[in-house]
Amino acid sequence: MSNDEESRAGVLSRSLQPGPLRVSHDVFARVAIDPDTADLVPAFLARRRSELVSLMHAFGRSDYDALRKSGHNLVGSGAGYGFPRLSELGAELSAAARDKDRAALAATLATLSEHIVAWHERYG
């Protein structure tokens, strides 16, 4: 791992620790939860949060196929549950996995975990 990669993975693992997390405010900027599906959101976010661990393992194992597939699923569900940013991050994850671009993967995973944890804390 390069230094850069390592520090990003560090962010990722730190964000998985319990406890308060300081996040930039724009994490919540585009969240738009539809009242019709609001009751599904807490479980959805809980599943996303626990999925972060398996994403990290997949990253460690260089299992690009699993990362690509998860990214694909996030594209499909994120915006629908009210998190358009999640769909975008899913697309980035998928693309980085397809290119086997480890630096981009580490960056995306870090951003992803930052967002998911913040959302889960607020809407979960």
Partner 1 sequence: MITDRTPSSSPAGDVTAPLVLVIDDDEDTRALLHRWLTGDGYRVECAESGESALRSLHRMLPDAVCLDLELPGWSGLETLARIRAHHPRLPVVILTADSAVGTVVSAVKSGAWDYLVKPIDRTKLSTTLRNAVERSRMAVQLAQLEREASGHPPMGLVGESPAMRSLLRQIDRVAPTDVTVLIQGESGTGKELVARAIHECSARRAEPWVAVNCAAVPETLQESELFGHERGAFTGAATRHLGRFEQANRGTLFLDEVAELSPSAQAKLLRVLQERRFHRVGGGAEVASDFRLIAASHRDLADEVAAGRFREDLYFRLAVFDLAVPPLRERGGDVVSIARAFLAERAAPGARPLRLSSETQMCMMSYPWPGNVRELRNAMERASVVAASDEIAVADLPQRVRQPAAAPAPEVRAAASVAAAPAGGRTLDDLERDAIVDALRKAHNNRTEAGRALGIGRSTLYRKLKKYSLES
Span of 9-17, 55-63, 74-82, 99-107 interacting with partner 1 by CB under 8 A: 74-82
Biggest CA pair distance of the chain: 45
What's the rounded Cα separation, in Å, for the pair 66 and 70?
A: 6
Nearer to partner 1, 71 or 102 (CB): 71
What's the rounded Cα separation, in Å, for the pair 64 and 73?
A: 14
Nearer to partner 1, 5 or 123 (CB): 123
Q: Which of 4, 30, 33, 62 binds partner 1 (CB under 8 A)?
A: 33
The distance of closest approach from Cβ of residue 54 to partner 1 in the complex, given in angstroms and rounded to an integer, is 14
Span of 2-10, 12-20, 68-76, 100-108 interacting with partner 1 by CB under 8 A: 68-76
Give the C-alpha distances (Å, rounded to integers) separating 97 from 77, 79, 81, 91, 105: 19, 21, 24, 10, 7
